[in-house]
Amino acid sequence: MGLAMGATAVAIIYSPLGRRSGAHINPAVTLTFLLLGRIAWGDAVAYIAAQFLGGSAGIAVAAALLGRRLADPSVNYVATQPGTWGSSAAFGAEAAVAFALMTTILTVSSVPRLSRFTGLAAGLLIAAAITIEAPVSGMSLNPARTLGSNVLAGAVGSLWIYFVAPTVGMLLAGEFHRRRASVVRCAKLHHTQGVRCIFRCGYASAPTELA
């Protein structure tokens, strides 16, 4: 599961659509770049709405295609729920991994010679985190990924964990990065020449720094 999800993230980030949109598939990521001043409010709202709509549509299509197999108790619509250690452990794990993921993204993407590896670094971290953290929290990191699954599974009581913890973790990472290093090149996870950027992009004044 970890390898599959990590590879999916890498494929999205480096895909033509990902290079154009910035590969924001997580509201917490979008909010962090909003905090850092690299995305406009209107664009952030539109991105977050699209992320929730896409996540809900994805699980709905999977449910239509897989039927009872997705509803089986062993799968339960791939809902994310706290493990045997409880809600506090799940919250802490989600926030910690979200902090680590966003710190990795901001650090790697801000170094010109390394920026092209941002997607690979994020994918590897996601793969490792799913393998390690899934027993603790179910491993969401993404409110848009969890909403549809948990609603279909009837597991709405734990939704607050997967909305608040990843967002807090990533926003803290963004603030930490802002305080220790002012450079945030762009809100795109993979910025390439020749692809239009709608963000408040730092590469506009330094195009030679593009990978």
From the list 35, 1, 23, 17, the residue with the least C-alpha distance to 118 is: 23
69-101 confidence digits (pLDDT tens): 999 998 999 999 999 899 999 999 999 999 999
Predicted confidence at residue 183, as pLDDT, reads 77
* pLDDT score of 210 more than 60: no
Predicted confidence at residue 205, as pLDDT, reads 57
Share of the chain above pLDDT 90, in %: 65
* pLDDT score of 145 more than 90: yes
The whole domain housing 84 covers 2-209
Q: Which residues contact 90 (CB under 8 A, 6 or more apart)?
A: 81, 82, 83, 136, 137, 138, 158, 161, 165
Q: How many helices (H) and strands (E) does the chain have?
A: 9, 0
Predicted confidence at residue 211, as pLDDT, reads 45
Q: Which residues contact 50 (CB under 8 A, 6 or more apart)?
A: none
Predicted confidence at residue 136, as pLDDT, reads 93
* pLDDT score of 121 more than 90: yes
* pLDDT score of 202 more than 90: no
What CATH number does the domain containing 137 carry? 1.20.1080.10
Range from 40-49, 134-143, 188-197 carrying the lowest mean pLDDT: 188-197
Crossing angle of helices 27-35 and 143-153, in 10° steps, is 150
Predicted confidence at residue 184, as pLDDT, reads 82
| Phi/psi of residue 154, nearest 5 degrees | 70, 25
| Phi/psi of residue 157, nearest 5 degrees | -65, -25
Predicted confidence at residue 100, as pLDDT, reads 95
34-43 confidence digits (pLDDT tens): 999 999 999 9
Number of structural domains found in the chain:
1
Q: Which residues contact 85 (CB under 8 A, 6 or more apart)?
A: 136
Mean pLDDT of the chain: 90
The pTM score is: 0.90
